[in-house]
A and B are shown apart, each in its own frame.
Chain A
Amino acid sequence: MSSVAIAEHGDAESREFTAQPLGRIGVWWFLASEIMVFGGLIGSYILSRVAAGGWAAERAHVNTRIAIINTIVLVTSSFTIVKAHAAAEADNRGQARRFMLLTVILGCMFLCFKGYEYSIEIEHGFTPATSLFWSFYYTMTGLHGLHVLIGIIINLSLFLLAGGAAWPRIKHRVEYAGLYWHFVDVVWIFLFPLLYLA
């Protein structure tokens, strides 16, 4: 029996107890563990910042403007991916693919702007080793950026696969990719004020 057939039972099936598809439950459990990853980091940041007295001087050097643009980009990409989900639900392959592609593009824009922002900061001599604030800044945004990159790869893969014969088999996965992508967006919704505003 091919491994494809075994995987067949997977994402869309459910039994009488919860009437939820397997893939959805699986992704939510995964997100629960990711909440703990970022929660631990964010908690450590808050505590260290209080201990250090606020880091007002260091924080003056972050680039709030780029961060605002990035927030708009990411929030918009959440919009596009939920539209892709709606299109997939309606079995509208073309629309779903268009919105997935938009999401990928917006995700890449986010990373580009972030990379540009890093380059400015490094040029000014602010590296992860400069101070504890910058250590946290680079680690948190870096880990977030890594999650964005993984999301882009997932979304791109779905976009490409959806173009072929696999569409009926994988269209429900747009929702799961969306759940992950929204989570990455929500993390940024909290990172942004933490690092740039408050």
Chain B
Amino acid sequence: MSSATKPSVGYLTIWVWLIVLLGVGVALLAAPVSKTLAVTLIFTVASVKAFLVLRHYMHVRHQPLMIYVIIGVPVLLAIALTLVLIPDIAFR
């Protein structure tokens, strides 16, 4: 079985980054920036965290293209659904 796993040091490093990014996200709440910018940054931070978990904990970077498609398509589809619904639900 060939799921290449990183050495344990790598996992701990990622954990540290995840906690740090959590702090960054929370700090952005109180940051002296516009609401829109704060929200954008907060979700960017969340995306980076998710990316780290996917890539390093779920080992996606060692997986074939098929796995990228299996994850990527539903994510894009969910985003597309939300976007298409904007005129009907968000701005009735």
Contact = CB atoms under 8 A, between A and B. Distances in A.
Given A28-B70, A47-B86, A82-B11, A190 B81 contact: no
B9 to A, nearest CB: 11
A43 B58 contact: no
B31 to A, nearest CB: 11
A39 B78 contact: yes
A182 B53 contact: yes
A197 B29 contact: yes
B66 A18 contact: yes
Contact of A51 (B26, B28, B71, B89): B89
Interface in B8-31: 8, 11-12, 14-15, 18-19, 22, 25-26, 28-29
B71 A192 contact: no
Q: Report the contact-size class of chain A (Cβ under 8 Å from the partner).
A: 35 or more
Chain B: interface size category:
35 or more
A161 to B, nearest CB: 18
B2 A75 contact: no
Given A50-B90, A193-B42, A85 B5 contact: yes
Interface of chain A: mostly helix, strand, loop or mixed = helix
A195 to B, nearest CB: 12
Given A18-B66, A51-B90, A86 B8 contact: yes
A18 B78 CA distance: 27
B50 A51 contact: no
Contacts of B2: 19
B74 interface: yes
Interface stretch (A110-118, A128-136, A171-179): A171-179
A83 B46 contact: no
A132 B5 CA distance: 44
Given A31-B71, A47-B82, A189-B53, A198 B43 contact: yes
B77 A36 contact: yes
Contact of B74 (A39, A78, A179, A182): A39
Interface of B: 1-3, 5, 8, 11-12, 14-15, 18-19, 22, 25-26, 28-29, 38-39, 42-43, 45-46, 49-50, 53-54, 57-58, 63-64, 66-67, 70-71, 73-75, 77-79, 81-82, 85-86, 89-92
